[in-house]
Amino acid sequence: MLQVRGLRYEVGGNTILQDVNLQVRPGESAVILGPSGAGKSTLLKAIVGLVPVQRGTVTLQDVSVDSAHATARQLRALRKQISLVFQSYPMFIHKTVLQNLVEPLHLVHGLDHNAATELAQASLEKLRLHDKLHAYPHELSGGQKQRVSIARALTHQPKVILFDEPTSALDSDLVGEVVHTVHTLRDMGIAVITVTHDPVFASRIATHTYRLAHGGLNALNSRIGSSAGV
């Protein structure tokens, strides 16, 4: 279970996050709504220690981090269990989908080529991309590129996945692919946190919804999308 307690972030005297509390269990999907500039993306970055918060704690499994005084070792331990998927989904344009997943595992994380390939193929299979292993980025739709980005996050075997506006660059026909993917992740027991400005999309994926405004996070409803279809 991921627990965020008392997270506070200020910049230049402006309070962006004001004592934010959030709890998400395995298989749950928390969606955070709010207008542009409300601090939604900042909250995701604060959870994984990418912005210097003034106070607050983040706890996941047996890792508990005092966010204001986190050490590099603590942050590494936390980030091993959390994947953050940004709005854009950069890929090496001259490499195949499979190569885009295998090479970081091999070169950055030290897996041998066979182990990296096996892990990458398993992640792509889970997201229904087995027929795109040897496709190049220009041959993929926006929804497929998004799923490749999520598959890349899955290779780290995270307990939690954070999504930053995952449908912002997709047309309505492709949003359904993201909805299906979120339900797949929940079925795998992964906790999902998504920030979005789209309440319709939120209603299709959320077990719990919140609104972030004026630095405060307030619960709106629970389990509104727990059985929503694609």
Half-sphere exposure of 154 (CA within 13 A, CB side): 24
The span from the first CA to the last CA of the chain, in angstroms, equals 26
pLDDT tens-digit map of 28-73: 999 999 988 899 999 999 999 999 999 999 999 889 999 999 999 9
From CA 79, how far away is CA 158, in angstroms rounded? 9
Instruction: Answer positive or negative: Cα dihedral of 11, 15, 17, 20.
Output: positive
pLDDT by residue (tens digit) across 114-152?
999 999 999 999 888 989 999 999 999 887 888 898 888
Condensed to tens digits (0 to 9), the pLDDT of residues 80-124 reads 899 999 877 678 899 999 999 998 888 777 888 899 999 999 999
Predicted pLDDT at 222: 55
pTM, to two decimals: 0.86
- Output the pLDDT for position 167: 82
pLDDT above 60 (res 229)? no
pLDDT digits (tens, 9 = 90+) for 153-175: 888 889 999 999 888 767 777 78
Record the tokens describing residue 198, joined without a space. 């789209």
Give one DSSP letter per residue of the chain, joined into a string. Answer: -EEEEEEEEEETTEEEEEEEEEEE-TT-EEEEE--TTSSHHHHHHHHTT-S--SEEEEEETTEEEEGGG--HHHHHHHHTSEEEE-SS----TTS-HHHHHHHHHHHTS---HHHHHHHHHHHHHHTT-GGGTT--GGGS-HHHHHHHHHHHHHTT--SEEEEESTTTT--HHHHHHHHHHHHHHHHTT-EEEEEES-HHHHHHH-SEEEEEETTEEEEEEESTTTT---
* CA torsion through residues 73, 74, 78, 83, sign: negative
Q: What is the pLDDT of residue 213?
A: 92
All domains of the chain, ordered by start, with CATH?
25-49+72-222 (3.40.50.300)
pLDDT of residue 163: 93
CA gyration radius for the chain?
17
pLDDT on residue 226: 42
Average pLDDT over residues 200-213: 95
Which of 185-189, 192-196, 218-222 bottoms out in mean pLDDT, i.e. has the lowest?
A: 218-222
Q: Does residue 230 surpass a pLDDT of 60? A: no
